[in-house]
Amino acid sequence: MRWAQDLRRHSVGDLATVEEQLFALMLLIRSVEAAIERTHRAAKITGSFHSSLGQESCAAGVSLALRDDDIVTSNHRGHGHAVGKGVSAEAVIAEMFRRTNGSSGGRGGSMHIHNRSVGFYGETAIVGGGLGWASGAAWTRKRHGSDAIAVAYAGDGAFANGIFAEAIRVADFWEAPCLFVCENNGWAHSMPSDGVFGPAGSITNVVSAMNVRSEFVDGRDAVKVYETGCELVEYVRTGKPAFIEVAVHRVKAHSVNDADYRYRPKNEGAEWLREYDPINSLRASIRVEQQHAIESAVSAVVDEALEAASNGALPETSDALRGIYATRGLGWDGRAEIR
């Protein structure tokens, strides 16, 4: 995986255990989110972003269960999914900075991280919008003789939308090897999930009733997410869809501009993190020196990424109209390019 190579450049030895791998990846994801939040505050970035800080066990547990040739689609809170699949921290942060070294050349932003070469087909800013994409892509790979699979991440909010049941139904009907991941972070923006669906695990019951293999995992235990992820990924490789709901916690507000104090106690996220931080929970099973080595490598990777992102070129304004159509001769203004 790309992220592990990046860490190795900063003299972390082999990440020998699953716990070390999860710890390193989760820490990297959290550090990227934290770096983005810091720089956002420093007014380097306009627009919004949605932090996955605190939810890292889902992205990390699922990502470690995947192969390089697997495909991932994600949602608006997808920086962690991207890093886990191998999008470099530089490409994520530079995309936030709207630089040409960003994963979408600086024209997508926080909600449009795309990196095809590592299988991260990418985020979509429409809740539930990427589910069909993932299953259609996975189905095509299978048709061409590959046992690669797709993972479609969505939040609990997406599972209130009709596309959720439709996408799983169609994937099952056409036997698309797609793992649907419901990252249940407890909140659909300001709406508490349990008020909509019932307690965590309820969405899993719905999918089970659709006769699709489904599992529920408490995301405070990253190892458990990984193990269940591996089981399901292995099952999906046989050519069927499956579903996993991972209960995580949205530590930050819905977005950087969101006044979450209006709908939940002010320190609720921070207090949850103090008590249940899934990263800290892993420390007991990792030697202290190795923890430090990983921490300093993560920190170096993120510093390097921030630096490279800040130094990235801004897109040429003349580039704004490029690439709408693949068809030769079709520019933004109809046939302007061939007239």
Partner 1 sequence: MRREVWAGMAALRFVDAVRQALADEMEADESVILMGEEVGPLGGVFTVTRDLIERFGPDRVMDAPLAEASFTGFALGAATEGMRPVVEIMFSDFVMIAMDQIVNHAAKLRYMTNEQFDVPIVVRLPGGGGSNHGPQHSQSFESWFAHTPGLIVAMPSNPSDGYWMMRHAIQLNDPVIFLENKAMYFGAEQEVADEPPADPWAAAVPREGSDLTIVSAGRMVGRCLSAAESISTRGIDCEVIDLRYLWPMDVDTVFTSVAKTSRLLVVSEAVEFCGWSGEVASRVAKDAFTSLDAPIFRVGALRCPIPVGVALEDEIIPTVERIEQAVVDCMDF
Which residues bind to partner 1, rule: CB under 8 A? Answer: 104-105, 107-108, 112, 114-116, 121-122, 124, 126, 129, 131-141, 143-144, 150, 162-163, 166-167, 169-171, 173-174, 176, 322-327, 330, 332, 334-335, 339
In angstroms, what is the minimal distance from the CB of 309 to partner 1? 16
Cα(237)–Cα(150) distance, rounded to whole angstroms?
Answer: 9
Beta-bridge partners for 152: 73, 180
In angstroms, what is the minimal distance from the CB of 56 to partner 1? 25
In angstroms, what is the minimal distance from the CB of 86 to partner 1? 15
User: Which one, 54 or 108, has the nearer CB to partner 1?
Assistant: 108
User: Which one, 139 or 216, has the nearer CB to partner 1?
Assistant: 139
In angstroms, what is the minimal distance from the CB of 77 to partner 1? 17
In angstroms, what is the minimal distance from the CB of 250 to partner 1? 24
Closest C-alpha to 154, from 119, 129, 171: 129
DSSP 3-state of 135? helix
DSSP assignment, residue 334? Answer: B
DSSP 3-state of 268? helix
User: Which one, 173 or 195, has the nearer CB to partner 1?
Assistant: 173
196 burial via Cβ count (<10 Å: 0-12, 13-18, 19+): middle
User: Which one, 134 or 293, has the nearer CB to partner 1?
Assistant: 134
In angstroms, what is the minimal distance from the CB of 47 to partner 1? 14
User: Which one, 28 or 309, has the nearer CB to partner 1?
Assistant: 309
User: Which one, 266 or 339, has the nearer CB to partner 1?
Assistant: 339
Cα(180)–Cα(268) distance, rounded to whole angstroms?
Answer: 28
In angstroms, what is the minimal distance from the CB of 83 to partner 1? 18
In angstroms, what is the minimal distance from the CB of 36 to partner 1? 19
Q: Which residues of 92-116 are buried (b: 16+ CB within 10 A; e: fewer)?
A: bbbbbbbbbbbbbbbebbbbbbbbe
Amino acid symbol at 311: N
Residue 11 has a CB neighbour count (10 Å cut-off) of 10
User: Which one, 59 or 137, has the nearer CB to partner 1?
Assistant: 137
Cα(152)–Cα(173) distance, rounded to whole angstroms?
Answer: 17
Which residues, 6 or more positions from 102, have their beta carbon under 8 angstroms from its beta carbon? Answer: 91, 92, 93, 94, 95, 96, 108, 309, 312
Token pair for 45 = 């970035």
| H or E stretch covering 39 | helix 18-41
User: Which one, 61 or 132, has the nearer CB to partner 1?
Assistant: 132
